[in-house]
Amino acid sequence: MTRSSIPIGDAPALRRAGLRSRGIRLALAAGLVVSAVLSFFVARSTDLAPTPLLPPGSSGIIVLDVSGSVEGSTLDRAYAGLSQLAASDDRFGMVVFASRAYEALPPNTPARELKPVAQFYHPLNRASIAPGRASLVTPVSAFYPANPWQVGFDTGTEISQGLQLAKSVILANNMTRRSVWLISDLADDPHDFANVARVATEYINFGITLNVIALNPTKSDARFFERFLGPSGTLVRAKPSTEVRIKSEYGFPIGIAAVAMVIALLLAANELWSSPIEWHATRPFQSVSE
């Protein structure tokens, strides 16, 4: 059975309304397409897709250089590297060092606990700076949070101190996955070179893998530490924060929520303004007396 159409005598009078309705539908369709494309790019933004620094499943002890030589652009690389690690689902312990070393995080700590440490390497926003200091802050001279290791701790650089303590932590906890991740610019005190070589030999004897996350080191410093990596050790060069995607401080995906709201509004407008005309049978007239 086929349906036949019934011509309407005043159809020409509805032409303008029909064109307007078609235009609205096309505009809403275009808006939905644009919103869908936008949602794709928002989903790939820094909030949801941080760039990994290490392969998934990495673990061990992080040995972080907090000496005075870590400054300038090196601070930004340290911030980027620590933030990338904090965005992972891995677990690490952490040792910080300058001329001395101490254990900051025990082994098997969730990597997200590195995020507060990363903030010490990131300049503060102007809004968070006291009014009297804000005028002194420029893009060239940024204001950083107070460094908890600045007084009485970063008077020198002895990388062997950090590596030695990391070894002690691994042996004391009888760790089965024995990896150390040295985060440093590798600018060690020349008087410490012999101690580094000695500790590196101990690493080999105890089956500990030494890895380096280098913060913009000189070629000579990088070559020196590459000698101690062994067959399974790696040297990863940390990139500036402008070259990596870092997870946002906010867990809620604001961008995705905003795009979803726009799509919902467009769909509601489509139903309200451009639904097709539907014909219905009219009810028979009933008089009051009935």
pTM given for the model: 0.66
Start-to-end Cα distance in the chain: 39
Q: Side by side, which strands form the sheet with 101-110? A: 101-110, 91-97, 59-65, 179-184, 209-214, 235-237
Domain 59-126+144-243 CATH superfamily? von Willebrand factor, type A domain (3.40.50.410)
Q: 45-80 pLDDT, tens per residue? A: 545 567 888 988 899 999 999 887 777 778 899 999
Mean pLDDT of the chain: 79
Mean pLDDT, residues 206-216 taken together: 95
- C-beta neighbour count of 235 within 10 angstroms: 16
Return the structure tokens found at 50. 């941080």
Mean pLDDT, residues 189-214 taken together: 95
Mean pLDDT, residues 150-176 taken together: 87
Residue 46 confidence (pLDDT): 46
CB-based contact 234:183 (threshold 8 Å): no
CB-based contact 60:92 (threshold 8 Å): yes
